Amino acid sequence: MFRSFMRFMLASVLVVCSLRSGAGGPPPPLATYTFGLGLNTGLNNELFTLFLVKEFQGKIIETSPLTRALFVQQAQGAVPSKANLEQVNLFRKYQVEFCFVPEDTTVTLLDCPAFDELWKIRFWEYP
């Protein structure tokens, strides 16, 4: 579960890097958006913080915190997002198995169990 989530986060970074290098299409717009994750205490006393990150010329110029539910909905493509313009289910695309439902359903998740394992990156035991 945790490995799938980390695979998703790493793949997101790789996609952003390939967009910056100009590989595979037209040049990026003036500012690009991506999803971000911090291991600092966040909204609603979560042990992590989720963000929408705005970047311009290789520098972060704005961050907007996201709730866990909104992050999951945007990453699934269920809710429009500047970081997921094509509204692709990124959990399915990057094979985060614990965070997607079968393709033949219109149900969207409001949570992803992989988030519950993130504390293990920062702490030896649950705080």
Edge-to-edge strand list for the sheet holding 32-38: 32-38, 49-56, 59-66
Return the structure tokens found at 96. 């985060």
Mean pLDDT score, 87-94: 92
pLDDT band at 81; cut points 50, 70, 90: very high
Q: Which of 116, 87, 79 has the alpha carbon at shortest distance from 4?
A: 116
CA distance 127 to 119: 8
Alpha helices in 24-108 (DSSP H): 68-76, 90-93
Residue 54 confidence (pLDDT): 97
pLDDT band at 69; cut points 50, 70, 90: very high
Return the structure tokens found at 11. 């793949």
pLDDT band at 40; cut points 50, 70, 90: confident
Model confidence at 37: pLDDT above 50: yes
Residue 36 confidence (pLDDT): 95
